[in-house]
Amino acid sequence: MYTEILNKLSQSSFRRKFHLKEADIVYIEQKGLPTIKSHAIDFITKRLAPRDIPNDGKQTPMKGHPVFIAQHATATCCRSCLYKWHKIPPNRELSPKEIDYIVNLIMTWINREIVDNSPNNH
């Protein structure tokens, strides 16, 4: 389901430069994917889902957590990117279905990064 949008995003010179670093992968391994997903839900619900976001466009750091990296790679970092890439309109609260879509897209990207960085692929 997410393959098409991830392939499209990988054509963007900005989006394709985001990758998980070794420290991010170690963090994911230590915490486990269910915890990372719960972090994603929390970040999206608090930073992206509200109708009004005072610092929209600047609410997602470029580093510091694997979900933040994934948000930039998947264009789920701010409402304008969300609209441009995913056609989810700004100026309204995100629906539970939209939050689900975003979180699952982020987790799909993270899983791909883990597979691409596994020792068997080098």
Task: Tell me the domain boundaries of the chain.
Answer: 3-117
pLDDT in tens, 22-72: 999 999 999 999 999 999 999 999 999 999 998 888 989 999 999 999 999
Q: How far apart are the first and last CA of the chain?
A: 27
Alpha carbon distance 60, 111 (integer Å): 20
Alpha carbon distance 84, 107 (integer Å): 20
With beta carbons less than 8 A apart as the criterion, state whether 31 and 110 touch: no
**Tell me, what's the pLDDT at 54?**
86
Q: How confident is the model at residue 115 (pLDDT cuts 50, 70, 90)?
A: confident
Task: Give the residue carrying structure tokens 């992206």.
Answer: 48
With beta carbons less than 8 A apart as the criterion, state whether 92 and 51 touch: yes
Quote the pTM value.
0.93
**Tell me, what's the pLDDT at 118?**
67
**Tell me, what's the pLDDT at 56?**
87
Q: Name residues whose C-beta falls within 8 Å of residue 119's C-beta, 6 or more positions apart in sequence.
A: none
With beta carbons less than 8 A apart as the criterion, state whether 92 and 81 touch: no
Residue environment code for 93-106, b if the CB has 16+ CB neighbours within 10 A, otherwise e: ebeeebbebbbebb
